[in-house]
Amino acid sequence: MKDTHIKVCGLTRPEDMEALSGLGVHYGGMIFHAPSPRFIEGRTDPAGIKRIAGIRKVGVFVNAAPDYIYRQAEVYGLDMVQLHGEETPEYCAIIRRHLPVIKALRLKSEQDLEATARYEGACDYLLFDTPGPLYGGNGTLFNWALLEHYQGSTPFFLSGGIGPEAAEKLSSWKHPACHAIDLNSRFEQSPGVKNIDLLKQFIWDLNIS
Q: Out of 137, 158, 180, 206, name the contact with ligand LARABZUK by CB under 6 A.
A: 137
- For 81-97, b/e burial (b = at least 16 CB within 10 A) is bbbbeebeeebbeebbe
Q: Out of 170, 185, 194, 199, name the contact with ligand LARABZUK by CB under 6 A.
A: 185
Is residue 139 at the binding interface for ligand LARABZUK, with CB under 6 A as the rule?
yes
Q: Are strands 188-190 and 193-194 parallel, antiparallel or unpaired?
A: antiparallel
Query: Pattern of binders to ligand LARABZUK over 52-71, x per CB under 6 A?
Result: --------x-x---------
Measured on CA atoms in the order 127, 204, 208, 166, is the torsion positive or negative? Answer: negative
Is residue 44 at the binding interface for ligand LARABZUK, with CB under 6 A as the rule?
no
Q: How far is the CB of 123 from ligand LARABZUK (least distance, A)?
A: 14
Is residue 182 at the binding interface for ligand LARABZUK, with CB under 6 A as the rule?
yes
- Binding to ligand LARABZUK (CB under 6 A) within 61-120 occurs at 62, 84
Q: Are strands 178-183 and 101-106 parallel, antiparallel or unpaired?
A: unpaired
Is residue 28 at the binding interface for ligand LARABZUK, with CB under 6 A as the rule?
no
Between 51 and 205, CB nearer to ligand LARABZUK? 205
- Binding to ligand LARABZUK (CB under 6 A) within 146-175 occurs at 159-162
Q: How far is the CB of 33 from ligand LARABZUK (least distance, A)?
A: 4
Residue number of the CB closest to ligand LARABZUK reads 136
Q: Kindly tell me the burial class for residue 140, based on how many C-beta atoms sit within 10 Å of its own C-beta (0-12, 13-18, 19 or more).
A: middle
Q: What residues line the site for ligand LARABZUK (CB under 6 A)? A: 9-10, 29, 31, 33, 36, 38, 60, 62, 84, 129, 135-139, 159-162, 182, 184-186
